[in-house]
Every structure is written in structure tokens, then in C-alpha cells.
Amino acid sequence: MTETKDTTKDKKLGLSRPGKLELNKTVEKGQVRQSFSHGRSKMVTVEVRKKRTYERDSGGHMAEVRENLVEEALAEATFAEPAPTPAPVEEVSPASNLTNEERAARVKALEGAKVASEKAAAEARLEAERKAREPAPEPEPAPAPAPKAEPKAEAEQKVVAPQNVPAPPSDDAERRPRPKKGVKVDVKKQQTQPSRRGEPRRRSAGKLTISEALEEQEGRQRSLASVKRQRDREREKMMEVRSAGKKVIREVIIPEAITVQELANRMAERAVDVIKSLMKMDLMVTPTQTIDADTAELVVEEFGHKYKRVAEADVEIGLRGQDDDEGALETRAPVVTIMGHVDHGKTSLLDALRETDVAGHEAGGITQHIGAYQVTMPSGAKISFLDTPGHAAFSEMRSRGAQVTDIVVLCVAADDGIMPQTVEAIRHAQAAEVPIIVAINKIDRPDADANRVRTDLLQHNIQVEEVGGDVLAIEVSATEKINLDKLEEAILLQAELLDLKANPARPAEGVVVESKVEQGRGSVATVLVQRGTLRVGDIFVAGKEWGRVRAMFNAHGEGLEEAGPSVPVEILGLGGTPNAGDEVSAVEDEGRAREVGEFRLRREKAASTAASARGTLEQMFERIKEGEAETLPVVIKADVHGSVEAIVGALDKLGTDEVKVQVLHSAVGGINESDVTLARASNAPIIGFNVRANPQARELANRDNVEIRYYSIIYNLTDDLKQVLSGMLAPEIRETYLGNAQIREVFNITKVGKVAGCMVTEGQVKRGARVRLIRDDVVIHEGELSQLRRFKDEVKEVKDGTECGMAFANYQDIQPGDMIECFDVEEVARQL
């Protein structure tokens, strides 16, 4: 197949009648150099499309319409580099085939281009003069651009170049280095470089001036090394300014003890300089070593700072707010604590007031925790109740309940009367100086005697109204709900006399009634708010623990957003389990809370360390005098802190000079693996009170043979440990007198030694029994009989009035006339 040349593209088209004919757009190609950062460039091919229009002229021939002649001339003048001096104008006669309109348009375009070129030249001249004032080295001369061929579109019809119209820059001109800032530019030399019209333009609009070239040079991206050098120069300048400036004098707070590094930080000095200062004082220290306040004071003075001595306990100053004004106080509900002997109906009485059933869920029917509830009476009045245990081991709980209460309700059973814990409760209430209301319970019993109770109370300085005193005594029955309304009236009347008020519009303050650890909830504290209002989200400190209130619940498990004065609530959000009785205070931020908590923790550790050191010395002296005491190590885990406190106190009372219980570890929560590991190392049993061991701890205990005992009633626990301690006691030695014998003669027998010929004067003598050798009424030997003979025969015993021969085991110093006392020894187990 042969290829045929398409000649239709070069053939001119024509019209048979007058009209406009638009040809397809022609395309002109050119190359433009693009500049990038760091001096990189690239040649890019650019296509320029133009549109040509033809119409009949005056002679009837088709001719190209050049309506945009003026715009092209202006564009060429604008894009050209301005020249300082005008170039000679080439005179060309107009074409003979132009019409009058075309000639007028061309002349007008030439005049406009001349004005534009003169204006551009003037601007370039002013810019060059300004740059010439700045001294700078001359730039290297740029190579002359190579001439290019004229585009095909311009070859058909040439236009005379107007005067002072420079040509557009060529590609070679773009390769020349751009002038840098501060360098003198020879504008004339640049403009005299040869250039040709019709070359591809790099810019679509605007003219390139020296200012634009300098701005483009400055807009390039800086290298990382340049940025680093600039930062180093700025840093050096700042150091010079600091060294030249005055020394900043600071007020340094000095506590009782401070580390060298912390002291340097507070003075804003280097730790090395502080160590050098201390070395001048003959103190060789390290940055982490602690120095006392006096030494720190000398160092601060040497560095020229001011010091302020503070005690470590000053962190607690201001933790409890100031006293409230009388105008801000509002009436609050009374806090009532029910106290009395065990099994006198305290919890049942509270159940009757609350119409709940708490006593039925108590282990063994006794209360072992402090319960806190707020009850709304039928009259609408609110009363906050605290239910305390009555067992002897919970003395600390009763004391704590009496300290945080407003009124004490002393519950006394009408059939039992005054009992030991009743007397103890009376003493706690009198020590706390709180009013007492006597509730004589169980009056429905047949053997109830309320008058006997009133009479017995007189022995403890409690005079009820019936005997001329001022103490209210109400006869009630918790099971039959008799006279509960009278007890309520008595409580409200006493509260009205006390005029109980508090300011709810202040940060909350209160006391921890009880604390425990619950799975899924963490540490939970029962807090009785005394002043202010505690809200969800508040930051608070409880003893050595602190946290943020994540949630609050009342005794019914209902969520609360805030709790005012006299409201007991359960709080979640503690970092650890506080002790029952710890004070609770809301603080402004976490920093203050953490500071107070850390100080209290350090204080508690120091106190425990000092106590253990004293105990060690006492034990050492005790061992010297009486010998080493037997100890029973135990690990105690309970559900609440109050139970831990009660168990440890009860076990301490069980100890004697010979045996005692050593509590290795006591805490709130379930039994874990670390408890088993500790117990295994000390061969100690683990006591779990209302808690259980997790599966890992049980498996580890079975493998290591560690005993875990579970209890839910405290007196069962104390009874078992009492038996264990009793078994550890040394048995009691009892002597049973058998008889006496007198030595009449002493015989020396070969291979046997000395044998005493004796006469039994009293009782009897047995072989294997213990004997004492008495000479001049002084015991000179105590041992056993090795031989007992009657004539030549071995016998077991010899009675009164009979002669016999005796030999002592490992003893030969016997003389005639010595007395021999024979007795039996019996060991009897002792009880605590």
C-alpha cells in the first residue's frame, strides 16, 4: 500500500459569495525555562494557539483581518525588557495594500507602544540609580543570546518595530544568573543584548523588573543549614543578653529537709555549682542526697537569693477553711449515733425507724460495720443515723462514732440492764460531750424492768427525767414498733435545743465513717459531710489518700450529684483505701491534694518506723532478761477498715509476756497472691474476715501449704487464735512428792562407781523418778536414779522402812548423811 501526500492542508480556501470564514486554530510551539528552588531549572515546551479571520477587502479579495494589532503591539512592548536609551527607528514605507483604516490603527498602536516604552525606561532608570547607590561587586557578563528563526505566522506579514520597544527575553537570557540583593545591575548593558521578536514568551502577563527579580530570588526556600546557623546566632545573642543582665534574685522556700538537686532547681542554679558550694563547707554530697534546712539556708545566702523557712507540716495550713459567718449558716439535720451493748437491739431499732431489714443480713446477728443512713421521718424531718457495733472488739468504732455525732441514743435492753459495752458507750459519749437519749428497748418482754435500768444508770452519772434529771428516757420496742414516734420527737427536740447549723456554700469537709474495697468499683469510702457541699468532680483529700469524686451513692444505692451537710454518702474515685476516722477536705486542684497526701504518707511511715525501732529495742532487753517470747505471725485481710482495726486490737489483747500475735500485714480487700507469698515466707496463716481468696491465690496456697482461715464473726476468730496461742505456751511443771531416803554408807563398786546404801525414811522411792541430793539442807544436785537395788535384785520401788542401794546418773559426789528426795514431774497444759 503506497502512501499519498495530503496536499489539501496547504491549499487556500475561498468563498463563492461574500462572508466570513474562520479557519482552524493554528498552533505555535516554543520552549520556556522554568526555575525551581536551589537553582534548578527545566526547559518546557509550550504551545500557543492563534485564531485568524479573513474577509473581502475593497478590491473584492479575501484578506486577513488584523483587529488585534494594537493589543499585540502593546503586549510585545509590555513583555519586553525596558531599555534606558531609545534605539534608532527603522523607517519602513507602509505597505501599498493597506487601507486607510489599517494605517490609522497601526500608527495609533505605534504611538501607544512608544509611550509605554518611555514609561518603562524611566522606571528602570530610577531603579538602577537606587541600586547603584549600594556598593556591590559587578555581576559576571552574561553570554549573548543566540538568534532564533522567526515564527512562520510572522513571516507572512512583517510589522515595523516601534521606537523604544524592546524585544522579549530569549531562552539564553533566562540562563543568566539573576541579580542578587545588594548587587549593582548595569541595565544598559543588559538591554543592549541582541534579541529577536516573535520568540516564545515565558510570562503570560506583566513585565519583569529588577524589583520582581530580587523578590523572586528572596522567595526561594532556605536550606536547613542556613536555618540552623540563624538559630545558633539567636541563641548566642540571648546568652549574651542574659550574661550582661542583672542576676535574678529569687525567694527560695526551704523545708525541713531537701535534696541538693531540688535546692538547685528552686534557685535556678546548676547542681554542680551547689555541690561546689557544699564542698567548700567540707560536705561531700551527691545531687540526690538530702541536706538539712540550716545547710540549705547557708547555700541560698551564698548564691545571693532570699530564703523562707517552712515546716513540712505547713502544707496542711488552710486545708480546713475559716469559720463561717452567722448569716451564711443554715439549719441541718442532726447526726444520731445508736450505741449500746451487743444484742441489745440497736440495729433492730434502726430497722424499725428505717422500715428496712439490716439486722437480718448481719453475720451472727451482730453488727460489725458502721452503717450510715439518712432517714426521712413521717413528719418530714430528716435524721442521719450511725449504727455502731456493740462487741468489745469494736471499741474504736464506738469511739469514732461518738466523736462525729450530735446526739447519742443509748440502747439498753430492759431485760438485761446495764452491761460492759453499755458502760463503755456511756464513757465515749461523755468524753465527746454529746447529749444522751436513753432508749429502753425490749419492753415487750415478760421479764422487762425499765425502772431497774433507770436506777442502774444513776451509778454512771446519768439521771433521767423520771428521777429528777435532764436525760430523756423512752421505753420502746423495736420488734413491736412501740413508741417509735416518741423517740423521734425526743431526737428532734434535742436537735432543736442544740440549734444545729452549717454553711452549705463552701468546700466540703467531713469524716470517713467506713472504707472498703469492692470488685469493679475500687476503693469505696462512706463519708459523712459535716460542712459545705460535696459534688461529683470535686478533688478531695481523705487522710493520706486523695482522688476525684467519680460517683456518689446514698444508703439505698441511688446516685447523687451533690451531698450537703449531715448527709452520709458512698464515694468512688479514691486512689487508695483511707482509714476510718480520717478527715475529708475538698481542695482546689490535684497538685495540692497530691502534696498533702504525700506528706501524710511520709509522716505515717516515719511514725511506724520509729515504733518498730522502739519495739525492737524493748524486745532485745526482754530477751536478755526473760528469754525470747513465742510469736504467732498472721496475715489479716478484711472487708472494711473498721473490721481490720477491731481484729488487730483484739489480737493485741490476747498476747502475754510469753506468747503474742505478730500481724505481718493487715489490709482491706480480698486475699491475693502477694499475701500468700508473704505468709509462706513467715510460715504464717492467713485470716480472711468476710473476704475470699482469688483462684490464683488459692492455687498458690494449696501448692505451698499455706493455711487460709475464713471467718465472718469476730469472736469465733479470737477464740481460735486464743487456742493456738495457748498451745504455744510452755506447759506448767507440777511436782509430786514421793519420799525421802538417808544415805548410811557409800560403796565403791568396780565398773559401776559409787553406790549409796540408803534407808527409806518416808514415803517411797521409784526407779526413773527425779531425785534431789540434799546436804546440810542445801540442794547440791538434781537428777535421775540410774539404779535401784534391793540386795542384788533390780526393783521398781522401795517403800518406807526398807533398805536399798541407789546410784545416781552421771554423779559421784555422795557422802554418808546426805538426804535423797524423790519426786515425780508432771507437765500440765496452760490456757490464756
* Residue 735 confidence (pLDDT): 84
Report phi then psi at 82, rounded to 5: -70, 140
Start-to-end CA span in the chain (Å): 130
Contacting residues for 54 by C-beta, under 8 A, at least 6 apart: 20, 21, 23, 62, 63, 64, 65
User: Domain 345-499: what homologous superfamily?
Assistant: P-loop containing nucleotide triphosphate hydrolases (3.40.50.300)
* Residue 190 confidence (pLDDT): 46
What is the helix (H) or strand (E) element at residue 574, kind and residue range?
strand 568-574
CA distance 533 to 411: 32
CA distance 753 to 494: 93
Output the CA–CA distances (angstroms, integers) from residue 277 to 246, 254, 270, in the order listed. Answer: 21, 17, 11
CA distance 177 to 318: 74
Cell numbers linked to 193: 543584548
CA distance 74 to 552: 84
CA distance 674 to 671: 8
User: Domain 629-728: what homologous superfamily?
Assistant: Translation initiation factor IF- 2, domain 3 (3.40.50.10050)
Cβ–Cβ < 8 Å for 428, 445: no
CA distance 745 to 670: 75
Q: What global pTM score does this model have?
A: 0.52
Report phi then psi at 708, rounded to 5: -120, 125
User: Domain 509-600: what homologous superfamily?
Assistant: Translation factors (2.40.30.10)
> Is the fold of 345-499 the same as that of 629-728?
yes
Q: Does domain 732-828 have CATH number 3.90.79.10?
A: no
Contacting residues for 563 by C-beta, under 8 A, at least 6 apart: 508, 529, 533, 534, 552, 569
Q: Which of 486, 298, 303 is nearest to 378 (CA)?
A: 486
> What are the extents of the domains in the chain?
29-217, 251-310, 345-499, 509-600, 629-728, 732-828
DSSP structure class, residue 328: G
Cβ–Cβ < 8 Å for 408, 657: no
Output the CA–CA distances (angstroms, integers) from residue 375 to 123, 554, 596, in the order listed. Answer: 95, 11, 35
* Residue 215 confidence (pLDDT): 55
* Residue 253 confidence (pLDDT): 85
Burial class from Cβ neighbours inside 10 Å (0-12, 13-18, 19+) for residue 139 reads middle
CA distance 208 to 94: 32
b/e per residue 468-486 (b: at least 16 CB within 10 A)? eeebbbbbbbbeeebbbee
Which residue ranges of the chain lie beneath pLDDT 70?
Answer: 1-29, 48-54, 60, 64-98, 132-221, 240-247, 312-314, 356-370, 390-402, 608-629, 832
Output the CA–CA distances (angstroms, integers) from residue 164 to 89, 169, 195, 211, in the order listed. Answer: 8, 15, 13, 21
